[in-house]
Structure 1
Amino acid sequence: MDKIDIPFLLVAFGGVAAFLIIGLFGLFNWWMKNEYVRVHRAQEMEARLLDRLDEEARTHKGEIKELDARMDAMQATIAKVSAILESLPNLASELKEIRREIGQSHAALAGFRGEFNGVKERFDALDHALRNKGLNT
């Protein structure tokens, strides 16, 4: 090798090495840009999903409150029905007592009606007697 070839080879290998280094740097830069874009898109998608989840959570929170209110109303109704069902045996005995009292009232009313009819008959007889007496005099 001549002395002229060595600097030429050094420049040639240096140029190739520089080209490779610049190429690798460009490839790394391209990869980093794509990675940044991919990560940025993933973050945007994550933010949209979180916003959507927050909105659905607010919607479901309202629905849950409404369902809780309905469930409380249903439990109150069930408590009322349970109280009614528990009082049915007492109501049956009270109904028997009321029927017995109504029967006694009917008997008392029949007796009063008989007395009233007797008084009415006496009043009619007295009225008839007075009219006859008034007509005869």
Structure 2
Amino acid sequence: MTNRRLGLAGLLALPVLAGTLAFGATATAAPGAEPPTIEVFTLPGTVSATFHNPNDRGVCWAFNEATGEIFGGNNPTSFAEAGQTVQSSLGGLPTGQVRVRGACAWSRPTGNHDYASTTEVIIVDVTGKPPTGSFG
């Protein structure tokens, strides 16, 4: 299992970014919003993220920077509302590296060109998919 954490000190040093996320989705811009605090860990074939929305409004989420895929899918339980902490995952991943980001915006993403405050990229190594459980 690989653990990486972007601590509060690291987040405070990050500038708030308002720009286009590659492969992202449209969300209402979040000027002045802080990016989420995020911790990422891996299991075979899966990357999980626990992230916290430090803002007094809006939503935060984790996503695969290469594909734009939101951890846990684009459903209400994949987003941390103001002050909430959420854990979600991406599964069925091949062995290799995944570039994870956390993002916050005033509304959930709905299309192309996402405008949000984001964390720095967290690179995690994914190990092979888990065995099928067959014995014999």
| TM-score using structure 2 length | 0.13
**Which protein has the larger Cα radius of gyration, Structure 1 or Structure 2?**
1
| TM-score using structure 1 length | 0.13
Tell me: higher relative CO, structure 1 or 2? Use CA pairs within 8 A at least 6 residues apart. Answer: 2
**When you count strand as a share of all residues, which structure comes out higher?**
2
